[in-house]
Every structure is written in structure tokens, then in C-alpha cells.
Amino acid sequence: MSEHNHPDTLTAIYEYWNAHTLGFQYVTDPKIEAGSPEFFRHIRPWMNPYKFPWIMERIKREARLLKEKHLLEIGCGMGYDSLEFLKRGVKVTATDLTPNAVEMARQHFAVEGVQAEDIRVESVLNLSFADETFDAVWANGVVHATGNTPLAFREIRRVLKTGGRAIISHFYRKPSWMYSLKQIPAVNIEFEQEDPPVNDFFSESEIERMFEGFEIVEKAREHYRLLPVCRSGIKAVLYNYGLKPFYNALPAGFAKRFAYKYSITGVKL
């Protein structure tokens, strides 16, 4: 058993994410009540579909194929991705490892007036769904944080129908600027105070090998523009006034070589 499969590691992953639902690090006004309509509006610009137009484009494209079909989101966090599928007529079961994320997603859907098929706690390492349940699985920035990518992929493949689509995004890649940043001691890439216990970085070929039993139908490395971070102190200054303008000034084709996301859509054979 690898180090990442150790029960202590699984507990640490659970505890970290239950205390750090993605989105809270972008709150700049502590007076805003968590779960309120204002709260979800406030952090929205930093969340993936709105921050990265290519993610929204992918959601729109997939939603056209999946209208009335059933998509499982793994690691839904506050549910922004699921929300965009729901708005476009896709049936969604939204899941996350942690009850706090599930509760935030529930409140978010209520605020937006959308209805998911189900919202519940699930680990991708041990999904409770029957074989061949879903038409698609969406996991954005999740599988590399589980500590057991092969098992996660086996589970994803198991719950997909034959011909179903696995749309897996937000893998880190080396070389990438994010990977390099992570090598600097005391620089955290998720929350300012603490990073997740597991954040694996993979090369393109390692990621492609995970799609055994799938036909890869799309690959994307389009994420290269950096956004301001709402953090304080010298690290934020260096990022906002050093790395960000420098990186964003690079020609797109060159900058993409150092992009930290690699997204693949595979169809289950």
C-alpha cells in the first residue's frame, strides 16, 4: 500500500477539505454570511467556470451532449460546475468527500433555484453507486487530491455506462508554474495558511495512462492566464506584481507549456 493509501492520510485529506471548502479563501469581506446569495456572488469570479472561459465552454459543449442525461460530479465543492450543468438541463448528482462541501452545494442550489437529482457525501475511492449508472462523470481538480488515482479511475469507470464520458480536469503538470511555486518552502497554492495533505502533480503521459479502458476524445492545456489572488503579505505582492504580469505577457503558445491544468475527456470502451 502506498503512503497515500494509509488511513491516516485519508483522514488528513478528509479533515483538510472539510475545514477548507474551496471558495472560502476568496472571501475578502468577512461580514458576508456564508451560504447567502451575496456570498456565492462574491466568490464566483474566482471559481473555475467563471475564471477560465475554456471550462465554461467545455461545460456548454458537454451539456449539449448530455441534456436530460445523468452526470455525476465528484468533489463538487460549492457546486459551481454542477450548477452550470443543471441550468442547461443536465440531470446531476453532486457529491463530495466532505459534509461541509455538500452542505454548501445544497445551499448554493437552493439560492439559485435549481434541483439536483441528489447531493451527497461520497468518496471517489469507494462510490456507493451501482455499475454503469451514469452517462458522464465530471471531476474538476479532485482526483489528484485523493492520494489514489488508479483506484479513483477504476471507480469512475465502473459507475459509467459503456459509452459514458469521463471529463477529468485540473491535474497539475510538470513543468508548470504552479508546480515550481509549490517547490518554494512555505508557499501554499490552495489556502494561504495550509495546503492539502495530497496534491499530486503528473506529466501528460502519466495522466493519459490513467485513461486505460477509455478512448480519449479531447485533451486540453489551455489554462495559462494568471489572476490576482486575494491574499496579503509579501507572497501576494510577488505573485501579483511579479509572476502574474511576467507570465501573462508571455506569448500564449509558450506560456501554455507551463500551464498547470491538463484536462482529458475519455469515453468508456
Ligand X SMILES: C[S@@+](CC[C@H](N)C(=O)[O-])C[C@H]1O[C@@H](n2cnc3c(N)ncnc32)[C@H](O)[C@@H]1O
Q: Which residues bind ligand X (CB under 6 A)?
A: 13, 17, 22, 47-48, 74-77, 80, 96-98, 101, 123-125, 140-142, 145-146
Q: Which is nearer to ligand X, 41 or 257 (CB)?
A: 41
Query: Is cis: bond before 99, omega within 30 of 0?
Result: no
190 vs 206, beta carbon nearer ligand X: 190
Task: For the CB of residue 214, give the shortest distance to ligand X in the complex, in Å.
Answer: 19
Please state, in angstroms and rounded to a whole number, the distance separating the CA atoms of residues 211 and 168.
10
Which cell numbers hold the place of 142? 479532485
Q: Which is nearer to ligand X, 190 or 218 (CB)?
A: 190
Q: Which is nearer to ligand X, 68 or 72 (CB)?
A: 72
Distance of closest approach, residue 208 Cβ to ligand X, in angstroms: 21
Burial category of 116 from C-beta neighbours within 10 Å (exposed 0-12, middle 13-18, buried 19 and up)? buried
Minimal distance in Å, beta carbon 50 to ligand X?
11
Residue 221 CB, shortest distance to ligand X, in Å, is 17
Residue pointed to by grid coordinates 440531470:
91
Measured distance CA(243)–CA(181) in Å, rounded: 10
With a CB cutoff of 8 Å and minimum separation 6, the contacts of 185 are none
Minimum CB distance to ligand X smaller for 145 or for 167: 145
Q: Residue 224 CB, nearest distance to ligand X (Å)?
A: 18
DSSP 225-247: --------HHHHHHIIIIIHHHH
Minimum separation from the CB atom of position 246 to ligand X (A): 25
Task: Quote the cell numbers at residue 25.
Answer: 479563501
Residues 26 and 46: beta-carbon distance below 8 Å? yes
Q: Nearer Cβ to ligand X, position 145 or 234?
A: 145
Would you call 30 exposed, middle or buried from its count of C-beta atoms within 10 A (0-12, 13-18, 19+)? exposed
